[in-house]
Amino acid sequence: MSVYLLIATLAITMTLILGVTVVAVVAVRSAVPESIPAVLRALAALVSAVLRRQRK
């Protein structure tokens, strides 16, 4: 049972990482260079929020 839970958690984590990466690429491509730090900060906040939710 715990093996399935671990696999499911890994699959969800990989999907989230992939989705965040795609969003980051699209955002950086469509953004002007000055706003890239803001995009990276927003992504960092999103990733930390997801990790905090998974740890609970």
The angle that helices 2-30 and 36-55 make with each other, rounded to 10 degrees, is 170
pLDDT reported for residue 40: 80
pLDDT reported for residue 35: 67
Tally of domains within the chain? 1
pLDDT reported for residue 11: 93
pLDDT reported for residue 33: 65
Per residue of the chain (56 residues), what is the pLDDT tens digit? Answer: 688 988 999 999 999 999 998 888 887 777 666 666 777 888 888 888 888 888 76
Domain range for 29: 2-55
Q: Are 46 and 22 in contact (CB under 8 A)?
A: no
